[in-house]
Structure 1
Amino acid sequence: MSVVNVVILLTCAVISIGERCAALSDGKKYQYANNITKNQRSENASFWDPLDLPKSFDARAKWYKCSSIGQIYDQGNCKSSYAISVASAVTDRICIHSNGLEKPTLSAQQILSCCYLCGSGCNGGQHFESWDFYRRHGFVSGGGYGSNKGCQPYTIEPCQHVNEGLGVENACSRKPLYSPKCNLKCSNPKYGTRYAKDNHRGTHYKVPGYTAMKEIYENGPITASFYMHTDFIDYRSGVYSYQNGTYVTTQAVKIIGWGEDENGTPYWLAANSFNVYWGENGFFKIRRGANECYIEESMHAGLPL
């Protein structure tokens, strides 16, 4: 290994996420870093072989009473995946841990507009801070755009999440970008519960990558973030792994299960927030066990109180 590559890898271990994205945005350097994790995985395969867990798992099947697990949202022209993924996962876990008796839909809008530690509204944020907002303040209810559901429904309109080309209608890149203001009252006039009373709180903890399967199997979906490149936006089906393209942003998603494809490639099964017309009806598979795009470095969850 050359001195330059050693410096790159050591630097990646200590600099911030945003800086590391920039350092690895060059395709060749990024592919090199991924090859290192591939080799590490092959040498430590037993590290990723959990005991007493099925080869494939889908939370939608185990907790069939909780239809929210299969719900796909549209973040619109807003980097709000950090809010949507956590609000969705918390919604699922409240249902799961109440055995399907409690089914509130929690508000990504509130996180996006009122969690100042989470990030910069529609300019992006961190999903682990959204989980901590759940621990510190709690979430009110709120459905997707135009749903008129809950206290604070999502207000950013849907759009097409594609690498823009000829003939693309309603492309997200053509929409104006704005962040909704924080509102400490219910914006839905049809919702009968007051803002102060419509509060759901819980715990927050980091999930190490090697325990993520066990965590999902026992407690429900978790969230994770990864470095999204332009080739991911073009994803249609199969198991995604970075091939080429420039860095776009850090995307947070909800992981609901895992499996292996026909070639034996292990993957995470995840819900994105690009609407049901993207990917596999809004879901996608991403290579598991090799820290693909750093997805196994930042996994988080929590439990309802």
Structure 2
Amino acid sequence: MFRSRSKQKLVQISLLSQIWKVPRRTQPCYKPWNKYGIATSAVDFALYLLLRSVLDELRDQKIEQFAEKLTGQDLVDFVNKKQNLWTAKLYSKFESLSNRVKRGMLGVKHMALSADERRNLSPTRFSSMYIPEQFDSREHWDMCPSIKNIRDQSSCGSCWAFGAVEAMSDRICIASKGKIHVSLSADDLLSCCRSCGFGYADYHIKLSEPMEAWQYWVHNGIVTGSNFTSHDGCKPYPFPPCEHHSNKTHYKPCHHDLYPTPKCEKTCVPSYHDKSYLQDKFYGEHAYAVEDDVLSIQKEILTHGPVEASFEVYEDFLTYGSGVYKHVAGAFDGGHAVKLIGWGIDQGVPYWTAANSWNADWGEDGFFRILRGVDECGIESGIVAGLPKLPKLNGTDAKSKDKFDEFAKLNKRFASLTKDELRRFFGAKKLNSLKKAKFAAEENYANIDIPKSFDARDQWPLWSCWAFGAVEAMSDRICIASNQTKKVTLSARDLLSCCNECGDGCDGGFPLLAWEHWYNKGIVTGSDYISNTGCQPYPFPECAHHNNNSHLPPCNANLYDTPTCKYECSNSYSKSYSSDKYYGEATGNRPFSLLENVTRIQLEILNNGPVEAAFDVYSDFIYYEKGIYKHVTSDTIGGHAIKIIGWGVENSTSYWLIANSWNAEWGENGQNFFSYISNLIL
């Protein structure tokens, strides 16, 4: 029983710690020996062995079968008799709710870090830093009031949204050194992030994954919004606080059923006059997981602020009153997400401090503590976080602020568009498929002579400079491989309309799958709209969407519909559809992706010609006029695919030479220069 052996060990730890007061000696991750494997002191070694034995014993404790079925007062009595780490109490109002509502308030699919997430872990785990024995974000960053704020999710399984926006708000304040105080909207994330899950979730439908919320922050941004009572910001929370976890009476009882997920409204409430919905958004720079060990989590919190944690909730957690929680009894209810803000030690017991979203009447004024160092209920294996993007870009601030060439100008046609309208021009979908793609083999490039500069237009007369990423590069490579005996322009229309597996036609597609389509099914010829030559010319006219002084007509107000796939050529063309097709090399390698190695990319272009590249587009890119582009500030709009035709160096700055598909009025005669680019497709 914990009240005997383990309690005696904790008393010994506490006494030894008071006699030998040195920080970190009661840390679960502390090792009491130096780099030579020699114990630093007898007291150190004794403390370490005692603490590890206590934690191992707590971790290995089995829940008795009858205890798993306990509920109500019987569960509370059993918990308080079984151990003295924490105190349980019966919340009568919470007990009166149905199991569906209780479990519906837990809206997370808890899981250990996936293989993909492990490839994108917080870099702070490699940092060398002093880890204090006690840490509380509320005290360390006392200039950030959001850290102390406890919200209320009400009768809605939106814990995943609250855990995310609370930590994001804190990190914006911390990153700005207390200059930006903001409360991001749980409603905006809850209602508009379709990839996050179903908004609220009960025990029998798909649950939400916190990492998706942080990715949404990076790619879509989140507006401001306070709680229901204060009703501040662009999108305040729509549901009132309620007494679902407390016996106090200053809140009304909770709604008898789960609220439906609010409709995604991309407008601010009428009372908010500060900014428009788009102007009010805050974005993340990067989203990542945190490695599932105590030291990595502590480093992340110390460096950047609170994190979001998901864990498994059992019936006894709903009775938590105070102390250091450890699961003792009761059945599994679901997954829950909270904000982790620090850690400490209570009578020799290490714990994490967390902020819940069940209002300040619950637990320790809305906060709770949970056992640290044994992955209690999975609390250490589901940590996610991210970095905020500061500051945002406004149209009138479009000029570059670093030492790179001035590349920006305010484009009136672009500045008048909303972000959703801007995304129409960026149709390369994020290449999750790259994770499964075949990569070109890595080679030793030490003895390869790569020229300082190279321009494919000087080496080969390219006939397809102004089509689109994939068919441009394919057409160039046909010409180059045939020693200029075959000069064709492959049809963007044929690829756009007939490659069903490539994506959504005019609404965007996956570049790598376009090359697979060329290899497997072939592509016919087809020029631009004006020339109207080849089997399937492009059906849409050029327009002035990127230039203030254009001789071209304005672009269509809406996206064109994807053309219908037709296995026939235009009436004026002499060949049949099947006889006009060109295929990727059938005897060589299938289409492949290049790893992010500059020399490998240069060698591929030298040997075989231009390549297609997909990259993230930020708002500042749309103001490019000339010079070497480098992302300076602003948020992401979408993905874009272009053709890389060469490289060079200007004023000691290396660049890639790019051919875009926004007609010759854009950039430097339809081209621009990048300081770096990745995700290359062949």
TM-score, length of structure 1 as denominator length: 0.80
Does 2:228 match 1:145?
yes
Instruction: Check whether the contact 2:287–2:386 (CA below 8 A) recurs between aligned residues.
Output: yes
1:253 corresponds, among 338, 351, 365, to 338
Q: CA deviation at 1:146?
A: 2.5
Distance 1:267 1:280 in 2: 14
Does 2:348 match 1:228?
no
1:160 corresponds, among 243, 246, 259, to 243
1:68 aligned counterpart, secondary structure: helix
- Please give the residue correspondences for 1:198-237 in structure 2 after superposition, counting only pairs within 5 Å: 198-202=280-284, 203-210=286-293, 211-237=296-322
TM-score, length of structure 2 as denominator length: 0.36
Change (3 A) 1:197 1:235: same
Q: CA deviation at 1:28?
A: 4.8
Q: CA deviation at 1:176?
A: 4.6
Write the deviation string for residues 149-190 of structure 1: whole angstroms up to 9, x where unpaired: 110000112122339x9x998443624531111101112423
Distance 1:221 1:207 in 2: 12
Structure-1 residue corresponding to 2:387:
303
Change (3 A) 1:83 1:188: farther
- Please give the residue correspondences for 1:24-103 in structure 2 after superposition, counting only pairs within 5 Å: 28=64, 52-103=130-181
1:290 corresponds, among 370, 374, 387, to 374
2:349 corresponds, among 262, 265, 277, to 265
Write the deviation string for residues 195-228 of structure 1: whole angstroms up to 9, x where unpaired: 0111111110101132000110111000100011
Greater Cα radius of gyration, structure 1 or 2: 2
1:73 aligned counterpart, secondary structure: coil
Gaps of 5+ in 2: 1-61, 69-127, 202-206, 390-682
- Residue 310 of structure 2 aligns with an amino acid whose one-letter code is S
Number of residues of Structure 1 aligned to a counterpart in Structure 2: 259
Distance 1:169 1:72 in 2: 15
Report which structure shows greater RCO (CA 8 Å, sep ≥6).
1
Change (3 A) 1:51 1:192: closer
Structure-1 residue corresponding to 2:359:
275
- Residue 267 of structure 1 aligns with an amino acid whose one-letter code is Y
Instruction: Check whether the contact 1:207–1:299 (CA below 8 A) recurs between aligned residues.
Output: yes
Q: Decide which moves more: 67-76 or 243-252.
A: 243-252
Q: CA deviation at 1:279?
A: 0.1
Structure-1 residue corresponding to 2:199:
121
Instruction: Check whether the contact 2:129–2:299 (CA below 8 A) recurs between aligned residues.
Output: no
Instruction: Check whether the contact 1:150–1:191 (CA below 8 A) recurs between aligned residues.
Output: no
1:213 aligned counterpart, secondary structure: helix
Does 2:216 match 1:133?
yes
1:183 corresponds, among 259, 262, 265, to 265
Distance 1:169 1:275 in 2: 10
2:370 aligned counterpart, secondary structure: strand
Structure-2 residue corresponding to 1:106:
184
1:88 aligned counterpart, secondary structure: helix
- Residue 259 of structure 1 aligns with an amino acid whose one-letter code is G
Q: CA deviation at 1:126?
A: 1.9
Instruction: Check whether the contact 1:148–1:190 (CA below 8 A) recurs between aligned residues.
Output: no
Distance 1:65 1:236 in 2: 29
Write the deviation string for residues 96-132 of structure 1: whole angstroms up to 9, x where unpaired: 0111001121011011101011111122522111111
Task: Identify, as 1 or 2, the structure richer in helix.
Answer: 1
Distance 1:188 1:105 in 2: 18
Change (3 A) 1:74 1:67: same
1:87 aligned counterpart, secondary structure: helix
2:388 aligned counterpart, secondary structure: coil
Structure-1 residue corresponding to 2:327:
242
Instruction: Check whether the contact 1:226–1:295 (CA below 8 A) recurs between aligned residues.
Output: yes
Q: CA deviation at 1:27?
A: 5.3
Distance 1:190 1:301 in 2: 29
Instruction: Check whether the contact 2:231–2:237 (CA below 8 A) recurs between aligned residues.
Output: no
Q: CA deviation at 1:71?
A: 0.4
Distance 1:77 1:188 in 2: 25
Gaps of 5+ in 1: 1-25, 33-49
Distance 2:368 2:270 in 1: 32
2:180 aligned counterpart, secondary structure: coil
Distance 1:84 1:191 in 2: 24
Change (3 A) 1:168 1:303: closer
- Residue 75 of structure 1 aligns with an amino acid whose one-letter code is Q
Distance 2:273 2:340 in 1: 30
Distance 1:161 1:27 in 2: 27
Instruction: Check whether the contact 1:148–1:188 (CA below 8 A) recurs between aligned residues.
Output: no
Distance 1:71 1:209 in 2: 26
Distance 1:91 1:241 in 2: 29
Distance 1:227 1:136 in 2: 28
